[in-house]
Amino acid sequence: MFRNFTQVLVAGAIAALFACTPAIAQQKLKIGFITTLSGPAGIIGKHMKDAVELALDHLHQKVGGLDTKVIFGDDQFKPDVGLQVADKMVKDDKVQFVSGIIWSNVMLAVEPSVTEQGVFMIGTNAGPHELAGSQCNPMFFTTSWQNDETPEAMGKHLQDEGVNDVYLMAPNYAAGKDMLAGFKRYYKGRIVDEVYTKMGQQDYQAEISQLRAKKPKAVFVFYPGGMGIQFVKQYVQAGLRDKIPLYSAFTVDETTIPVLKNDAVGQWETRYWSPDLKNAANEKFVSDFRKKFGYMPSYYAAQSYDGIMLIDSAVRAVKGDLANKKGMIAAMERADYASTRGHYTYNVNHFPIENFYLLRAVKDDKGEVVMRIQKTVFKDHKDAYYKECKMK
Amino acid sequence: MNLQLVLEQILNGLQLGVMLFLMAAGLTLVFGIMNLVNLAHGSLYMVGAYLATTFYRWTGSFVLGSLLALPATLIVGVIVEVVALRTLYERDHLDQVLATFGLILFFNELIAIIWGRVGLFTDLPQWLSGSLDFGGGFSYPLYRLLIVMLGFAVALLLWYVVARTRIGMLVRAGASNRMMVAALGVNIRLLYTLLFGFGAALAGLAGAMAAPIYAVQPGMGEQILIQVFVVIVIGGIGSIRGAFAGAIIVGAVDTLGRAFLKPALATLISPTAAQAAGPALASILIYLLMALILALRPEGLFPARGH
Amino acid sequence: MRSRARKLVLLAMLALLVLVPPAAALLHQLFYVDLLRRVMIFGIAAVSLDLILGYGGMVSFGHAAYLGVGAYAVTVLAYYGIHDGLLQWAVAIGGSMLVALAIGAVSIRTSGIYFIMITLAFTQMLYYLGISLDVFGGDNGMRLPERSQFFGLINLNNGTEFYYLVLTILAAVVLLVQRLVESRFGMAIRAAKSNEARSRAIGFSPYPYKLAAFVISGGICGLAGALLVNHTAYLTPDFMQWTRSGEILFMVILGGVGTTAGPVLGAFTLLVLEDVLSGWTEHWQIILGPLLVLAVLFAKRGLAGLLPGGRGG
C-alpha cells in the first residue's frame, strides 16, 4: 500500500507541475465527458463517446478555436461513482465544462456539485424534472429534452388518432412512473390497465398473457435497453405484433435495432430527432458517423454531438475568454449553432423548445431496419415544468 | 380471471421454472459435491447463449447451433476449471466468491470485446415460432412448450444418471465423503473436472434455450444468477431433486405473483394502494419465500445427506 | 495485536492518512482528499463487516442494507427539516441496529451459504422497498437538502474538516472493534466460530453473542451510511443494491479477513484501482477481474498478510 500510495502522490505531484505551468501561458479548453462505458449499458456510452470524437474531428480538435482536451469518465451507472468522476474532473483536471450523463439519478447527484464550483454542466441525455423546474440553474444546459416530453408526444398522437383502450406498461421505478404520467398528461382516452414490472426483468410472458386476456386496442410501453429487447421479442413471439399495435418511448432505437432486427419492424416511437431528419448538419453527422464507426447513430449520439457543438458556439462567442461565464451563458441561450435537429431555441430553464415526431421502424430498400419520421406531433414543444423554474 | 388464463400462467411458471432448473442443476452439483461457490455460473450461461447464436449463424440451423454450443461450453468450463478454479476447492467459500466474481468481470468484458457491447440478434426458426392450438381458443407458444418438455427430459435424465449409474454413484459418494472415494482409487481430480464441465454444459444449454427469447448481451448471466441461487438454497444444496422442486416453486411463485397479486390485492385494499403495493410485493416475493423456508428449514427443503 | 510491527504499520497508515489533506493542498490535487474520504467511509463499512465475518464467521452478503438505512435516516430527517447531526446520526445508528436485530434474529439460525443467501434476501427486500418510496425519489433518489449540522463546530461542507472527522471515526471504529474482539465477548464469538458444537457442550449458547455482534456491526455500518450520504450529498437506493454488499465483502476478503484494519486496505485498493484503471481503458474490468483472481490465489491472507506483522490476526 505504501508503494501504491507514494506512487499516487508522486504521480500527482508530477501531473500538477505539468498542469500548472502551461495553464498560465495559454488558454486550453478542457471538457469532462461522463457516460456509462462499462457493463450492459456501455453500448449507450459508446454511441455518446463516438459522437464526441466525431464532433472533435469536425472542429479539427479545436472547440471554440482553442486547443481542447476531452477527458472521458465512466460512471458505472452509479450516482456516487459519477459524482466522484465529476469531482476528479473539476478539482484535478480543472475542466471548464462537464458534459454527457445518461441517467437521471447520476445527473441529479452530479449537477449540483459541478455547478456549485463554477463549472458548466451540459447534459446530453438525462432530463429529470427537478432540473427543469425547482432546481433549475443558469450553469446547466441540456441538448436533449425533459424526460416527460417524449411520452407526452405519444400520448398526444394516440389522443389525436382517437385510439381508445390503451394498455400501459413500464418498469417499477421513478422514470417508469414519470413516463406513464407524461403519456397520460396528453392522452385522455380509456386506459385498460397500468402495469409496472420488476426492474431488469427478463421474462414478460406472464404479463403478456395478462395483456392478451384484457384485449386492449393499443399498447404503450417504456422499456429502455435490454428490457426493451426482451419485451419486444417476446411480444412478437406471442404473435401480437399484427394484432395489437405496440407504441413505445425509448424502447426501440439505434442501440437496440441491431439486436431486434425484424422484430422491431412496425414499432411506433416518438422522438425529437431521427437519422432521416432533413437538414445539412444532420445529414453530415449521420453520413460521417456511419463512415467513421460503421454503424447507425442514435439520438444519444446526436445529443452528445450537439453538446460539443453548443460548447463550441459558447467559447467562440466570448472569443476564447473562458473566464467570461456570463457571456457564455448568453451565447448558449441563443442556441446559435447548427444542431442535428435543426434550429431550436432555449426555454427559461435551459431546456430546448423543440419539435417531436412520430417515428416507425421500417425496412429500407437495402433491407436494413431503420427509423423513419411519419409526422410531426408537437411543434416547438415546451416541457411541463419550466414555470416552476425561478432562474437567478 | 378465467380458467384459461390461469392455465396459461401456470404454463408460464413451469417454463420459467425449467429454465431456472437447467441453471440450478449444474450449480447445485458443483456446489454440493465439489464444495465450490461458483458465481461465474452465470457467465457460462452467457457463453452458451453467445456460442449457440454464433453457431446458429454459421450452420443456418438452430438445432445444430444449440447442439454444438453444448460441447463448446463444456470445453470452456473445463478450461476455467483447470486454469483458475482447481486450486480453489480447498479454500474458503469467501475466496471462491471473490475469485469467481473476478471471472464474471473478465468474461463480461471479454464477450464485449469479441462480440461488441450491442448484443447479438437471434431469432427463432420459422418452424418453432408459431403457437400450438389446444382448441377452445387456448394456444401456447410452441417454443416455450418445447423448453418445458426439454427441461423435464433433462431432469429425468439427470435423475437416472445420478441415481442409477456408476458415475452417479461416484458423484453421490464424492458428495458425502471425498477422501473415501479418492482412497478407493478413483481419480477424483478428473471426476471433478468432468463434473464441472458437465455443469457448464447444462448452463450452456440454458443459455442456448434462452438466446431466442431473452436479450443476448454482456452481463445477461448476472440477471438470472441471484434467482438461481435462491432456487438451490430453497431446494437444499447438492440435491438435484431439491433444485428441481425449488426451480418449479420459484418459477410458479414469481409468475403467479406477477400476474395475480395486484388484482388479488385490489379486492382487499383500494385499487390505488394495490397499484403501488402490488408490483413492489411481486418483486420481493421469491425473497420472502426463501426467508420463510430458511426460517423453518435452515438447510432447505431437501438437504443432501453427508458432509 | 500480535506484534509491535503491526502496531507500527497501523500508526504509519494513520500518519499517512493525516498527511493527505496538506499534501493535496500543496500539490493542488484536492480531488484526492475526496477520494480518500470515500475510501475511508467504505473502510468503516468493511471493518464493521469484518467484525462478524472475520471473528464470528458470519458471511453477511447484505451489509449494504445498513449503509442504506443509515443514509435514509439522515436524508429523511433532513427532508423534514431536522438537520441536527447528532440526532441524525444517532437515528442512523439506532435504526440500523434495529434492522440488524430483525435480520440477525432470523438469519443466525442458519449457517454457511444459507446465511449468505438469507442476508442477501433481506437486503433485496429493503432495496425494492427503497425504490418504491416515491416520496424520497424512488429509484432516482433525492438530494440531501443540507449536510448534517454540528452546532457550527464541524462544517461538513468543508472537505478537509469532513475528511478529518471521517478519519477520527475510522480510527475509533478500528480501535473499538479491536477492543471488542479481545474482550470476553469477543472470545465468545470467536469460540462460536471455531466450534459451535463445543461451545454448546460447555454450556453456553452462542446465539445471543452472535446476534449482539451482528447488531453492533449493523450499527457501525449504519454510521458509514450516514457518512456516505453526507459525502455524496445525494441519497440513492443504489446504496442497497446487492452488488454493493458484494463490494464491501470483497474489500474485507481482499484486505484480509479477521485483521480489523485489513479491510481498510482492501477498500483502498479496490476503489483506487477502479479509479486508476477506468482512467486508462473502458475495458478496465478485464484487468480488474483477473487481478482479483490472482489476489485470491497468491495473497492467501489478504493484503494485510503481506504487511509485516500481519500474519497474526
Whole-angstrom distance, CA of residue B156 vs CA of residue B162: 10
CA dist A374 to A159, A280, A358, B58, B121, Å?
A: 16, 20, 5, 37, 26
Tell me if chain B has a CB within 8 Å of the CB of A43: yes
Tell me which of C205 and A257 has the higher pLDDT: A257
What are C117-128's pLDDT values in tens digits?
889 889 988 998
Contact B119/B216 with Cβ under 8 angstroms? yes
How would residue C257 be classed by pLDDT, with cut points 50, 70 and 90?
confident
How would residue A154 be classed by pLDDT, with cut points 50, 70 and 90?
very high
C116: left (phi over 0), alpha (psi -120 to 50) or beta: alpha
Which residues on C lie below 8 Å from A128 (Cβ)? 140
Tell me if chain B has a CB within 8 Å of the CB of A346: no
Q: What is the pLDDT of residue C308?
A: 66
Cross-chain CB nearest to B5 (options A203, A207, A213): A213
List helix spans (H) across chain A: 2-25, 42-58, 79-91, 104-116, 129-132, 149-161, 174-186, 205-214, 225-237, 257-260, 280-293, 299-317, 325-333
Task: Look at residue A317 and tell me whether its pLDDT is greater than 80.
Answer: yes
Domain that holds residue B73: 3-296
Whole-angstrom distance, CA of residue A306 vs CA of residue A312: 9
Q: Which residues of B, range 241-260, sit inside 8 Å of A by Cβ?
A: 255-256, 258-259
Domains of chain A: 2-145+278-343 (3.40.50.2300), 149-271+356-381 (3.40.50.2300)
What are A83-106's pLDDT values in tens digits?
989 989 998 899 999 999 999 889
In single-letter form, the type of residue at position A318 comes to V
Tell me if chain A has a CB within 8 Å of the CB of B74: no
Task: Decide: helix, strand or coil at residue A75.
Answer: coil
Burial (0-12, 13-18, 19+ Cβ within 10 Å), C253:
buried
Q: What share of chain A is helix, strand, coil (3-state, %, to 5)?
A: 45, 20, 35
Task: Look at residue A145 and tell me whether its pLDDT is greater than 90.
Answer: yes
ipTM: 0.81
Q: Collect the ranges in chain B with pLDDT lower than 70.
A: 1, 175-176, 178, 304-307
How would residue A18 be classed by pLDDT, with cut points 50, 70 and 90?
very low
Indicate whether B301 belongs to any domain: no
Q: What is the pLDDT of residue A170?
A: 92
Domains of chain C: 4-306 (1.10.3470)
Q: What is the pLDDT of residue A20?
A: 44
Task: Look at residue A282 and tell me whether its pLDDT is greater than 50.
Answer: yes
CA-nearest residue to A88 within chain C is: C31
Burial (0-12, 13-18, 19+ Cβ within 10 Å), C278:
buried
Tell me if chain C has a CB within 8 Å of the CB of A336: no
Q: What is the pLDDT of residue A25?
A: 41
> Phi and psi (nearest 5°) for A51?
-65, -40
Residue percentage of chain A with pLDDT more than 90: 72
- Cell matching residue B209: 434455450
Task: Decide: helix, strand or coil at residue A99.
Answer: strand
Indicate whether B307 belongs to any domain: no
The residue behind cell 472415494 is B181
Tell me which of A370 and B185 has the higher pLDDT: A370
CA angle C163, C164, C170 (to 5 degrees): 95
Distance of CA C168 to the CA centre of its chain: 15
First-last CA distance in chain B: 48
What are A303-316's pLDDT values in tens digits?
999 999 999 999 99
Interacting residues of C188 by C-beta distance below 8 A, sequence separation 6+ = C199, C204, C206, C209
Instruction: Indicate the number of domains in chain B.
Output: 1
Task: Look at residue C297 and tell me whether its pLDDT is greater than 90.
Answer: no
In terms of DSSP bridges, do strands A345-346 and A268-271 run parallel, antiparallel, or are they unpaired? Answer: unpaired
CA-nearest residue to A194 within chain B is: B275
What are C102-155's pLDDT values in tens digits?
999 989 988 888 888 889 889 988 998 888 887 888 878 888 988 999 988 889
CA dist B94 to B51, B90, C126, Å?
A: 30, 11, 24
Q: Which CATH number covers residue B201?
A: 1.10.3470
The helix or strand, by DSSP H or E, that contains position A360, with its residue range, turns out to be strand A352-363
Tell me which of C116 and A385 has the higher pLDDT: A385
The contact set of B with C (CB < 8 A) is: 31, 37, 84, 87-88, 91-95, 97-99, 101-110, 112-113, 226, 229-230, 233, 237, 276, 279-280, 283-284, 287-288, 290-291, 294-295, 298-300
Which residues on B lie below 8 Å from A243 (Cβ)? none
The helix or strand, by DSSP H or E, that contains position B140, with its residue range, turns out to be strand B139-141
How would residue A26 be classed by pLDDT, with cut points 50, 70 and 90?
low
The arithmetic mean of pLDDT across residues A24-43, rounded, is: 82
